[in-house]
A and B are shown apart, each in its own frame.
Chain A
């Protein structure tokens, strides 16, 4: 059972190593133990105290060496949860060592780095996926099914508000290490919702951002106007300085509306449609899904990733998904800098170098 990575035989379990033992790395490492098809082989952090603490807590070997991880025959895939500027070099090293790659969002601090990661993974024939795991929240999955069932019809508009009273610190407030602030760190999950739920790609963006209340050199408040490819319009309002909201309870209000209906991912989750969808009477608001769900989005994400990779398929959330949402965020930053609307880069990413 010494073979590993993309070249090795298919195992019943995908053997994972976690790179980065901070808060998110620890959460993902813990989630690995709760899936039926993944196993944690190793944890790594450049900071030995963090690596040892997590390794001992989860009773797995730990290391401070990236080379040890990518060279290990006991590792099929790596889970990268480090400061964003480290994602690209670590992912590219792993790809060249024929390890599949799971990367915390965002893929990188820049779209060009992210494109390099995805291209390398493709060239090395390994799978790369971004942890855009908010897609797996039960109410989001339910909303997706409703929309696929015709609740909205043609998308006409979207509105997204993300608010938290949660000042950031450390590497997250440095553009060089994080790539940005509230947009790239938190709002990116919900921007991914807009793509995932509507199936329509943003075409252009206009944005403003500011450091309203925080430290460092990244924005803690931002607004965006999105022009979708089909002509629909959307607005985004994000802030980490909204009093009355807390780090344990973000305010997330997300609504999409179309020619035939409207769906709200603001609690209590509701939809309205002129179509007969899911057996619900048209012309009325209907609640869907529960307010609090017990399933863990990271566990679902890892389980689905492993299922697909073990059967030789692309993961549900691909590197291209990570690129698309990274392109949207980067377009917002370019717009804020330029003072006018900018086009969102799209596949085949030929303009990105």
Chain B
């Protein structure tokens, strides 16, 4: 029996999965921090979208192959401020845990202010290692490609661009009101929202995966539980 045979009995046939893609370009906000106090001040004032961007923008930009730290704030605390305690605390912040970006901002501010209280001197970065607050310009477009059935997902995901992976898997939970990524939401429409594929997708920790790793993991999960790539 095919893993998705049961889905055929779901009432009505869900809409095909519309594969979207996006192109991202970085915009400098003009704000930059040379020390931790300046970082705090800019965190309090910068556009919340800039804060959010620093959790995923580096996935789509040149960066080290090892994803040691999960966001740009943590990486800067480690690499420029040489404050490993702060880097570790910042690394554990996951934007998916927050209902809105202001809560995310407040959590970061709490961590930074606590660290400022703990330190006798304000940690500072050498010239050339300042933190630049960036933002993203995102252009979203429909690729025109469709996935008709769940068993086609694995093959489709393997050809997803970095922009498609970002849009459907990383960005979607913040964009959607149900907090799901687009793939899980589509599986739910097929009556597979509580199935093993959806559960494993929900457990994926994208913050520590490169785009290539994310693509491979998602395709493997889909292939294992939804089929479609059997010889």
Q: Do A and B bind each other?
A: no
